[in-house]
Amino acid sequence: MNSSRLRTVFMLAVMATGATRVWGAQHAAARRTWYAAGMASAGYQLPSAGEGEDLFRLNLAPRVLYFPLDGLGVGADADFEYVSHYTTLGSIGIGPRAAYYLRRSAWMPFAGASFLYLHNGEGLFPGVGTEAGWQLSAGIGVSPVVGSHGTLPVELSFATRSLTSDYGGGETETNRTSTIGLEVGLGFFLGEGK
């Protein structure tokens, strides 16, 4: 990325988080507030016991949380993933998410978990039409408040997924994989809380 693009991205991030006006961490993750974030991640799929293969994943993961209690957020997580392996794989996932934020720290450490329903438009292997299944993930991270309502979350996660491939003619195969990933993003806490 050239220096002018890097400066532009940095300036947009500063403006988006409203760094000129301090909102304060006391409102972040407070009762009756909302959180919206866009995360990007890169993950390395660990080799499975039977096949010994690995691959690299890139994805975007928007999420929305509502805080019914101070620090406890519940909501939805989505996952849009691109994988290049034997063939190109496009995956879409959506499901519930829960997270707990430690509000008394400037870094706002958190732990979260999500369960997603997954659907892939094309399989990892030639001839596979579709794959469907689930993913269970858990992670820990930090989400420091930056300026007015903004956060810069970073999360280290571990995910297990199970996908069933449909080869047509009633022939299917189920594979389970585990992934370690690091997500970084930009988020916003909305509302004044109570």
Spell out the residues 6+ positions from residue 170 whose beta carbon is closer than 8 angstroms to its own: none
Percent of the chain scored above 70 by pLDDT?
72
User: At residue 21, does pLDDT exceed 50?
Assistant: no
pLDDT given for residue 157 in this prediction: 94
Q: In whole angstroms, what is the distance from residue 194 CA to residue 41 CA? A: 33
The more confident residue out of 10 and 42 is: 42
Pairing, β 72-84 against β 171-190: unpaired
Task: Please give the model's pTM, rounded to 2 decimal places.
Answer: 0.76
Spell out the residues 6+ positions from residue 147 whose beta carbon is closer than 8 angstroms to its own: 14, 17, 18, 19, 20, 21, 22, 23
Average pLDDT rounded to a whole number, residues 144-162: 91
pLDDT given for residue 25 in this prediction: 56
Q: In whole angstroms, what is the distance from residue 176 CA to residue 21 CA? A: 47
The CATH fold assigned to 3-190 is Porin (2.40.160)
Q: In whole angstroms, what is the distance from residue 169 CA to residue 123 CA? A: 16
Residue 124: band (very low, low, confident or very high) from pLDDT cuts 50, 70, 90: very low
Question: What does the mean pLDDT of the chain come to?
Answer: 81
Q: In whole angstroms, what is the distance from residue 37 CA to residue 21 CA? A: 20
The more confident residue out of 29 and 47 is: 29
pLDDT given for residue 177 in this prediction: 86
Residue 58, number of CB atoms within 10 A of its CB: 14
